[in-house]
């Protein structure tokens, strides 16, 4: 296998390629070339999916001028047959003819699937190699991740320049399987390993550091050539794949669904702003056992926990704080010395914004809902001395929460006769894609302030209603950023760059809503950030690292108001409490993974 004794041609080829190869698709050569031209300055390593073209053989000459004008480009020609997950419906002979003529057009590499290589006569495969083009032999499993060594052994006899193995991650631990395979094969420099699927994001970002020669990315959102593929700009700018190395600490957000979560862009922006060598990934799973194994195997230093895992994870924590124990849920875990510690930063995300606008002691607050977010709101507000009323569609759930927290329940028909200092919506009503009818009407908004925890869309029906009545509002973005800022501090021990975090989340939401770029002026963003994020006084850096006990105390931070009205992080003074047994597996060495 030429991986152990690289040829001069292989060395030259390796010197031309980068960590990311951008897949280019289109229905015409002109469309492909236009897309390639738009990305080539940032990422000159490209794969042209010729199987997306109606007549790829006739289209080849049209790429020749592009390569002549862009000599820095290194290009892969792929014409994958439909039987192997591609779009080309022609024969094996037709595929080979297209790939053999790709070299004369200016392509540097061709991608031939293992099934085609096995079906070819040795003489035909030799003719393909004699064109001088580099050969990738690939295998894609669209169903599972299994027997990667066996797949490698099937490809090795063909002595390709690159071996590409692409299974599908059905669970997070499938990334570990791929990563361990890449690490075992670290004496081979020509293996490309990636997991497809939403659960395979880890391999796309960490694969290169585990030993994958490179990874693949889409030219833009919506242009994916494989399940779970990440856009090139996201891979390079958000995940900073060029900076991921053995020392990079790994964090993530876990739950289901989390594909559209804005936590990765918010947290990775904060890491970049504060020069933290870390990466924050989307970890799609609804199985706690899957997540726990991944956390210990990679290892993952900290995780933002979303539904459906917030309650289920409690018995596996070494310690948590008393308020989180009362709430019965955590949204943040931190691994120290192989043990997991839990926190609930939703409380800070809800209480903090309200405390900036009013004194909560004695305040009358109406909380809508009785689920996880509502529990954080109710217990957090009661902890601050607020008088809390709970309105929920299911009265029994509201009554149980009221008994546990020392709050009161209220019926909808009593709202018109009541007035509140604030109304907090802790239900998913109003969220993008949620069609549930609103709990409140305009006549029910007898309040000084409306706080909707839903952050997508930017203006929910409840926020719109409050604006119409001239009632001051707090949008869900502020809660999202505040809880994320506290998580950042738990993960890193550094004050969070809240304005930058707010800015990038607002920008992402406006992009999703299709707002024009002119709407994102610095003036607009600074004005919003001034209202929605507090100033954080950064303490002087400590000259000595914190002890383990100090670290545990420090990470449980929450905003506190100073006499000047600003906020600063302070340690929660409650003693921590021990819960049920925690997993005590030894943390493995940092791993990685990848995909196309």
**Active-site option among 19, 310, 384, 594:** 310
* 22-50 exposure pattern, b = at least 16 Cβ within 10 A, e = fewer: bbbbbeebeebbebbeebbeebbbbbbbb
Alpha helices in 328-434 (DSSP H): 346-355, 372-383, 395-405
Secondary structure (DSSP) of 130-164: TT--EEEEEEE-SS----HHHHHHHHGGG--SEEE
Q: Is 65 within 8 Å of 53 (Cβ atoms)?
A: no
Contact by Cβ (8 Å): 39, 233: no
Radius of gyration of the chain (CA): 27
Active site residue 310: yes
- Report which DSSP code applies to 238: I
Assess contact for 106 and 64: CB atoms under 8 A.
yes
- Using DSSP's 3-state secondary structure scheme, residue 592 falls into coil
- Going by the DSSP 8-state scheme, the letter that residue 235 receives in this structure is I
Residue 253 C-alpha from the chain's centroid: 7
Interacting residues of 576 by C-beta distance below 8 A, sequence separation 6+: 319, 320, 321, 322, 341, 552, 556
Give φ, ψ of 578 to 5 degrees.
-90, 135
Distances (CA, A) of 263 to 221, 259, 270, 298, 534: 18, 10, 10, 20, 19
The DSSP result for 544-583, as a single string, is: SPPPHHHHHHHHSEEEEE-TTS-EEEEE--SPPEE-S---
Which residues have a catalytic role annotated?
310
């Amino acid at each position: 296998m030429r991986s152990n004794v690289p040829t001069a041609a292989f060395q030259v080829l390796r010197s031309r390629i980068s960590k990311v190869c951008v897949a280019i698709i289109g229905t015409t050569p002109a469309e492909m070339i236009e897309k390639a031209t738009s990305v080539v300055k940032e990422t000159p390593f490209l794969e042209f999916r010729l199987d997306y073209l109606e007549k790829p053989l006739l289209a080849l000459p049209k790429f020749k001028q592009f390569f002549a004008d862009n000599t820095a480009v290194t290009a892969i020609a792929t014409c994958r047959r439909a039987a192997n997950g591609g779009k080309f419906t022609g024969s094996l002979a037709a595929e080979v003819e297209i790939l053999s003529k790709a070299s004369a057009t200016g392509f540097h590499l061709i991608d031939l699937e293992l099934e085609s290589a096995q079906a070819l006569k040795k003489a035909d495969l030799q003719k393909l190699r004699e064109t001088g083009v580099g050969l990738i032999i690939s295998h894609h499993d669209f169903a599972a991740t299994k027997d990667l060594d066996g797949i490698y052994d099937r490809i090795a006899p063909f002595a390709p320049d690159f071996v590409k193995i692409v299974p599908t991650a059905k669970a997070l631990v499938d990334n570990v399987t791929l990563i361990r395979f890449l690490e075992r094969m670290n004496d081979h420099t020509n293996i490309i390993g990636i997991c497809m699927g939403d659960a395979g994001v880890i391999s796309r970002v960490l694969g290169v550091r585990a030993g994958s020669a490179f990874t693949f990315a889409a030219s833009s959102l919506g242009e994916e050539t494989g399940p779970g593929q990440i856009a090139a700009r996201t891979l390079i700018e958000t995940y900073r794949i060029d900076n991921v190395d053995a020392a990079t600490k790994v964090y993530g957000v876990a739950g289901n669904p989390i594909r559209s979560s804005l936590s990765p862009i918010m947290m990775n922006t904060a890491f970049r702003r504060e020069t933290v060598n870390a990466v924050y990934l989307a970890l799609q799973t609804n199985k706690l056992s899957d997540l726990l194994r991944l956390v210990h195997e990679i290892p993952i230093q900290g995780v933002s926990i979303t539904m459906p895992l917030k309650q289920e994870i409690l018995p596996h924590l070494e310690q948590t704080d008393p308020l989180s124990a009362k709430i019965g849920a955590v949204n943040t875990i931190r691994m120290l010395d192989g043990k997991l510690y839990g926190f609930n930063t939703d409380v800070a995300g809800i209480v903090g914004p309200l405390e900036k606008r009013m004194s909560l002691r004695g305040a009358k607050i109406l909380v809508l809902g009785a689920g996880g977010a509502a529990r954080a709101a109710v217990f957090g507000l009661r902890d601050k001395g607020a008088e809390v009323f709970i309105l929920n569609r299911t009265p029994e759930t509201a009554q149980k929460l009221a008994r546990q927290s020392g709050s009161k329940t209220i019926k909808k028909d009593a709202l018109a006769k009541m007035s509140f200092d604030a109304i907090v919506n802790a239900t998913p009503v109003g969220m993008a894609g949620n069609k549930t009818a609103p709990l409140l009407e305009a006549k029910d908004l007898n309040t000084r302030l409306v706080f909707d925890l839903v952050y997508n869309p930017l203006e929910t029906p409840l926020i719109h209603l409050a604006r119409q009545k001239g009632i001051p509002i707090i949008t869900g973005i502020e809660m999202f950023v505040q809880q994320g800022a506290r998580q950042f501090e738990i993960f890193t021990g550094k004050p969070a760059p809240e304005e930058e975090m707010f800015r990038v989340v607002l920008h992402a939401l406006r992009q999703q809503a299709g707002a024009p770029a002119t709407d994102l002026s610095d003036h607009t963003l600074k004005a919003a950030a001034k209202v929605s994020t507090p100033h954080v006084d950064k303490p002087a850096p400590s000259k000595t690292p914190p002890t383990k006990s100090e670290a545990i105390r420090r990470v449980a931070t929450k905003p506190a108001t100073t006499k000047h009205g600003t906020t600063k992080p302070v340690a929660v003074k409650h003693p921590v409490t021990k819960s049920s047994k925690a997993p005590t597996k030894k943390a493995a060495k940092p791993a990685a993974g990848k995909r196309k």
